[in-house]
Structure formats: structure tokens, C-alpha cells
Structure 1
Amino acid sequence: MTALPRAAATALGVVAAAGAGALAYGSLIERNRFTLRTATVEVLPAGADDIRVLHLSDLHMAPWQTHKQEWVRELARLKPDLVVDTGDNLGHRDGLSGIRSALAVFADVPGVYVNGSNDYFGPSPKNPLRYFTGPSKHAHSSERLDTAALEGFFDSLGWKNLNNRAVTTEVNGTIIDFFGVDDPHRRFDKLERIPGALDELRENDDRGPRVSIGVAHAPYQYVLNSFVTHGAEVIFAGHTHGGQVCVPGFGALVTNCDIPRDQVKGLSLWRHGFHSAHLNVSAGLGTSIYAPVRFACPPEATLLTLTARAR
């Protein structure tokens, strides 16, 4: 073998070894490196007490994922005032047993939830390269999951269903108008229902200053724009997995929707028209069982503290 082919072979070997190492790290270490992200938003009426919101998303739970279940249970020690769950809780036909194990400790905490597509349909193998051509397509052969049982469990916790609905609740003395939509990725959302639902809430409740919060699984731009138009001051979403596989110094390669890459995870400001809302997109806590890898994008939950505006 001449020097040039030998050097090329060595270089290919180094690249292959680096790739194998990155895959091993992403599948064995980082996808289980659960992280708590914290942030604060000044959005409550002047003088209001803080509200600590635990944002959970994209658990994609399988029954054998006991480490993830234990980590989520431990979040109860944070003593959140409110839980917001933005969907894709199920990751297996028997995933509800793991969800019960993880979330039963929050039974005394007020909460709201919306569904993601994986709360309706089981996971299926996909070619990861297709994500570069746009949002993922839907497999017609996907297994139908027991969505009613999942919703029944959340209802038993006292959490309120926001799938194409609006509800009002009081947390730490602040009135919150919540509105949400069913999964936009599957086009299950019914945004046209939101104005009437909000009008009905506000006509029948004349209590004092309030804050409006929008909740959706997938942060498509048309949904975020509609939420801002209808008065959302804070928006919670998930779905993106933060890109799931990111490049250090560059960020997410894909978003699996049409949100800009620089807003694929974390807290940012979403502007539409002459208005804006604080947008918190969770990178989520899980992955599909057919793509159990994360890189430069650890799984996360968020503790977002809502605090009073400066006078």
C-alpha cells in the first residue's frame, strides 16, 4: 500500500471511530442525561406572587424506562405550583404504566395538558434523513394507542384538558386563562374554536387582573401567530426535541416543523403583528424507541418562574 492510500485509509478509520463514539455517547449517555432548565418571565400583574411552572414534554415513555420515571418523580421535590404537559407522553403501547409511575406524585398539583401525535399512535421506524426534507410524515400503519386511558389518568390527577379548549384557573391568587389546541402536527388543532371559548370564559368571570397562556404540542408558526392574536402572554410547546441531534456551535439541524432553528428549544420571544408572547419550547425528555439517540441536546424539563412585572 502506498503512502497516499494508507493515509486515506487511516483518515477513514478515524472518521468511522469518531462516528461510532458519537453514536455510543448519544445513545448510551446523553439521552439519559436528564437536565432541569430554569428561567424567569415577568408577566404577572404587579404585586402578584410568583408561580413556579413545571413544563414537561415528549416523554415518549416505554414501560422499561425506569430511570426516566424515577427522575421525573424526583421533580416533585421542586414543589411546582402548576404543571404544563405539552404531549407525546406515550412511546409504547404499554407506556401508560410508566407515565403513571412518573406522574402520580403530582396528583395534588394543578395542571393542564394537550396531546401530541404519539399520544394517539405508536412509534414506527422512520428514515432520519427524511427530516431534512421537512416535518415527518405519518405512517398509516401506526398502532392506535389508548388515548382515552391517558386522558383519564391526567383527569384523575386533576389536570385540565386543553385540547381545542379554554379553561380558567386560579394559582397563587392569579387568575389564568389557559387555551390550547390538539396536536397541530396531525392537524388535529381547531383554532377556530378558541375565540368563542375565550369569550365564554371571560363573560362569565369578572374577577380581577389575569394572565393568558397558550398551550400546544407542536409550535407551528400559524398556531403561535394565532395564540398571540388571541392574547397569549406566555406560550408552552414541545415536539421539536430541540433538534435531538445538534452540532456544537451551530445548533439544531432540523425542527420537525416550521419554527426557526434558533427557537427550536428554550425561552424566546414570539412576535406577530404588533404583539408578542414569551415562548418556551421544551427539548423534551424522550426519543422514539426507534431513534434512541441525542447529541448536544440533552433531555430536559423546565422550571419556568412567572413573576410580577416591574411597576
Structure 2
Amino acid sequence: MSAPLSVAPRRAGTGRARGQRLVVGALVAALVLLLGAGWLLWDNRRLVVTEQAVEVAATPEGGLRIAHVSDLHAADHGDFQDRLAAEIEQRDVDLVALTGDLIDMRTTELGPVLDLAEHLSAVAPTFFVLGNHEGDSALREELLAGLEDAGVTILRDEVTRLEIRGTEVTVAGLEDRRVAVVDGRTPAQPAAVLDRLALESAPGPTVLLAHRPEFLAQYADRGADVILSGHAHGGQVRLPLIGPLFAPHQGWFPALTEGVHRQGDTAMVISRGLGNSVVGVRVNNPRELVVVDLLQESPQG
């Protein structure tokens, strides 16, 4: 006959202690999630200003300062556009470059964007090129008419010149290839357009506005001293020790998402952009206004 089973009595308070640990763990997890969400919201709403210096021959006396505004996507949360305009106004810029995707393909109201454009054109000569989202927008023609009324110069595979402190400055602009696709035309290669514009003959510094940075090889060494681009949104998510995660038309771990990149005699300055589109959240990648200083080239020696 087997001996009866001996069952140790449950220690008093064991179940209660386990429940308390679960509650504490849940509270800690909730706090971490709350802090993470708060940081993400703050990081997506803040505006950083990045200054980039590029040496260029024959710049005007004192250099040439450009406010590079890219990929706004009609962002208008709170006072964001007012803060953006104030930052540009206090920087004493010579030019404002709007390098595409000023609106989003889903934008239905142009008023805030056109008010911003009018404000900026009162600060300094302002130039605009179409991005891929303007190409897909039903409001494209209305936007272009509104920008012209606001005093903005629109460059559609065109070049213009102006004088700044006694130096002739050339500004050229390429419209995004998406515009041609939507209109039923075959997009021209950027290199072919630039060859037609013959920027090499410009006597002073030449600035090229071109939305997409992935065509750097076609832009380079065709007469532009500096190219201003955006489109990549900084890679949308920027991972510590790794960098940008993904950019349209470049794919995973893209190379051209921010900063200054050189090829031959050409420098490209890429903005991380000021708004969001299909992917509505940035991670470790705040909205960026880029201020570009073109400085007199140092003598070689």
C-alpha cells in the first residue's frame, strides 16, 4: 500500500507577491511606452537648422547664403510654418530655394503653403521646382499660378540669372520626371536637360535645384557648382550606428539622404526635408531647414 502524498502548504503571500510584480512590470512597460511616444511626438514636431558651407569660385563679396526648403508636404501642424518662416527671416539669406514636394499629392488646401511662399518671397528672391508629389497632385496648376502670384520664380527645366552684390548668379531648375509621366510624356534624362541649358557658360556661381538626389551622377560636372536636393526624407528612420533605413528610388540603406556629397567639381547638398508623406512618422530624423553658405574658394597652395 503506497504512502499518502505529502503536499507542502502554500506559503502565505506568494500569489500576492507575484501579482504585485506583474503590476509593477506593467506600470514600467506603460511608462516606457509613454516616454517613447512623447519623445517620438517631440522629435517629429521639432525643427532643426543645419548650416552647410560649400566653397565655390566667383561668389559675391561676403559669400552667398541660401535657405534650402524641401519636402514640406504642406505640413501645417500648430505654428510650424510660422517657425519655419521666422528661422529663414532671421538668417539674412540671399536666396530661397524650394526644391519640390511643397505640397503632398493628398493636399486639398493651398492657402497656408501660398501664404508661406508669399512671406518667403518678401524675404529674398525665391525659386521653386516641381517634385514628384506636385506631379501627382490635382492642384498642380493652381499651385503654380498661386506661386507666381506670390512672387516665386518657377523653373521647369529652365535657367535664370540675377545679380547679387555685383556678381551674376545663375539659378537653374529641373522639374521632377513624375510630371512628364503623369502628363503622358517620356521623361527627359537630367543629363540631356542640363546639356541643353549649357550651364558651363555661366560667369558666376551656378545653383541647380533638382528634387531627386539619386541622379547625382547625371547632374555632376555639367556646370552646376552646387545642387540642392531633397526627396529622400533623410531615410525616414535613422538607426544609431547604421544610419538611414530607406529612401524612395534608392531602396534600403540609401547613400544620399542628407549633408554634402561631392562628385567631380560639383557639390550636392541634400535636405532631410520638413514634412511627411505616405509614411507619417520620422524616427531619430527631425525636420530640417538647411542654410547653405557658398564661400569664396580658398586659394590652392
TM-score, normalised to structure 2, is 0.77
Deviations 1:235-273 (A, max 9, x none): 10001110121112221111212387343112222x2xx
2:294 maps to 1:279: no
Whether the 8 Å contact between 2:232 and 2:256 is mirrored in structure 1 is no
Report the equivalent of 1:104.
118
Once residues 240 and 13 of structure 1 are traced to their aligned partners in structure 2, the CA distance between those partners, rounded to angstroms, is 38
5 Å-filtered alignment, 1:115-126, equals 115-121=130-136
| Aligned equivalent of 2:284, options 296, 300, 303 | 296
CA contact (8 A) 1:163 1:180 kept: yes
Q: How far does residue 195 in structure 1 lie from its aligned partner after superposition? A: 1.9
- 1:138-153 maps to which residues of 2 (within 5 A)? 144-153=137-146
Question: Cα gap change, 1:25/1:228 in structure 2, threshold over 3 Å: closer, same or farther?
Answer: same
The residue matched to 1:154 in structure 2 has which SS? Answer: helix
1:71 maps onto 2:63 in alignment: no
Q: For residue 20 of structure 1, report the CA deviation from its aligned partner.
A: 6.8
User: SS at the partner of 2:205?
Assistant: strand
Q: In structure 2, how many angstroms separate the alpha carbons of the residues matched to 1:13 and 1:251?
A: 32
One-letter amino acid of the counterpart of residue 210, structure 1 = G
Task: Note the alpha carbon deviations across 1:36-77, whole angstroms, 9 max, x for none.
Answer: 111211114177331110000111115x52421111221212
Q: Structure 2: which 5+ runs fail to align?
A: 1-20, 182-186
Once structures 1 and 2 are overlaid, which stretch shifts more, 108-117 or 293-302?
108-117
1:114 aligns with 2:140: no
**DSSP-derived class of the 1:302 partner:** strand
Structure 1 unaligned regions, length at least 5: 1-6, 122-143
Aligned to 1:61: 74
1:83 shift after superposition: 0.5
Which stretch of structure 1 is more off in the superposition, 235-244 or 64-73? Answer: 64-73
Please tell me whether residue 25 in structure 1 is matched to residue 39 in structure 2.
yes
Deviation, structure 1 residue 23? 4.7
Paired residues of 2:114 and 2:150 also in contact (CA < 8 A) = no
Contact 1:184 1:217 in 2 (8 A): no
Distance, in Å, in 2 between the alignment partners of 1:196 and 1:236 is: 19
> Structure 1: which 4+ aligned runs deviate by more than 6 Å?
10-17
Q: Determine if contact 1:184/1:216 at 8 Å carries over to the other structure.
A: no
Alignment check: 8 A CA contact 1:183 1:216 kept: yes
- Are positions 1:216 and 2:229 aligned together? no
Query: Are the structure 2 counterparts of residues 186 and 158 from structure 1 closer, same or farther at C-alpha, using a change threshold of 3 Å?
Result: closer
**Contact residue 221 and residue 266 of structure 2 kept, 8 A:** no
Alignment of 1:36 with 2:49, yes or no, is yes
CA distance in 1, matches of 2:28, 2:237: 21
Q: Under a length normalisation based on structure 1, what TM-score does the superposition of the two structures give?
A: 0.75
